[in-house]
Amino acid sequence: MQLSATYPGLRVLDLATNFAGPYAAMILGDMGADVIKVERPPTGDDTRSLPPQAGGMATVFSAVNRNKRSIVIDYRDPADREILFKLVETADVLIESFPPGFAEKRGLAFTDFAARNPALIGVSVSAFGDGPLGQTMPGYDALVQAVSGLMSFTGNKGDATVRIAPSVLDLTTGMWAAMGVMAALERRRVSGKGEHLHPALIDTAFNVMNHQLLAFFATGREPEKLGAGAPSAAPYGVYRANDGELLIATASDAQFPRLCEVLGLDAQGVDPSLAGMEQRIARREEIDRLIAAKIATRGVAEWLADLEKARISCGRVNSVSEAIHLPVVEERALFTQLPDTPVIQIHLPVDEGRDSVMRPPPGLDAHRAEILAELAIRNTRGNGCSWSSQ
């Protein structure tokens, strides 16, 4: 494979930890940027120690830190600080996720960096921005899901509130941050000036709830817990067959009579008033009970064969182990086994990302010597040395 050439020569400093900021930096690295991960002693990024581990490296860390080089910088050490600022002078982009007040107390605010490099594009990733909430509340994905209202309609009616399992706000905020950088690079190409971006998980949360929020503004009704259902369509949900589960998604009026015919409900004289989506939504639970009783009588494969023939949107509910072996996964070339490492990586969902050469996630401080050599600075600390705790 050939290295993606979108951003050759672009240098990104990744001072962020956990998921959102590092993911933004990884996206740019996949597109050809030279990403230097600046980590704090003694243990580096917080996710390096999390279970499970593969080949001595945390899978959480591996998921968002490929195509990077690592150097450890002690912000309290004058020599290390100078290394950081020399790196800033060579950089195009700096991404950080410092806790509130951390940067200002240590002279690591964007204004400090911009004084050394006026063309620098800074990205400060946070959970709640710079206001009072951002100053007092920790910035975890699940916490933002809760505070934003996103969790209030996630799960099944009557059940305890649950979070969306993937770190959806961290990852999508990382995507927004990367898109923001791309736009800022274009603006800088014209103006020659850097700028400071402030992506926040709370902003992302309200964006991913866009149609639920617009519905609330229009009607004043709170979004409901619908399990696998959809607020604007019915029948739409997961139904249990006698050997597994399948999802049926009838998102149009045209599909409903065909679904009734396949299930044999047309012979039972389905109420003509259910022809419209709004009427079906109002009687969602009644319709679901009728469908569930029918689906329970046969196997998933039998139902899928008949439903697909009738052009009904449907699919088996797979486990992860089943899903990764679907033919479409190989067709889309989603996974890459990196050489000399047990780590499997997932390509970005853009065509260009499939052409990127992936260097494995870096060991802590593994590239200190080569980075310092590029800066013409003598390496006074060998890899693997210990630091006092911060």
Which residue numbers are catalytic? 170
**Rounded distance between C-alpha atoms, residue 355 and residue 31, angstroms:** 9
CA angle 173, 179, 185 (to 5 degrees): 135
Residue 79 contacts residue 47 (beta carbons within 8 Å) = no
Both structure tokens of 122: 């800074």
Q: 3-class DSSP state for residue 336?
A: strand
Q: Containing H/E element for 72?
A: strand 68-72
Backbone angles phi, psi at 253, to 5 degrees: -65, -30
**Rounded distance between C-alpha atoms, residue 281 and residue 286, angstroms:** 10
CA angle 152, 156, 162 (to 5 degrees): 50
Neighbours of 280 (CB within 10 A): 21
| 29 Cβ contact partners less than 8 Å away, ≥ 6 residues apart | 12, 35, 66, 67, 68
**Rounded distance between C-alpha atoms, residue 2 and residue 107, angstroms:** 40
| 44 Cβ contact partners less than 8 Å away, ≥ 6 residues apart | 70, 72, 364, 365
Q: 3-class DSSP state for residue 166?
A: coil
**Rounded distance between C-alpha atoms, residue 287 and residue 277, angstroms:** 12
CA angle 51, 55, 60 (to 5 degrees): 35
Region of 155 (left: φ > 0; alpha: ψ -120 to 50; beta: rest) is: left
Maximum distance among all alpha carbons in the chain? 84
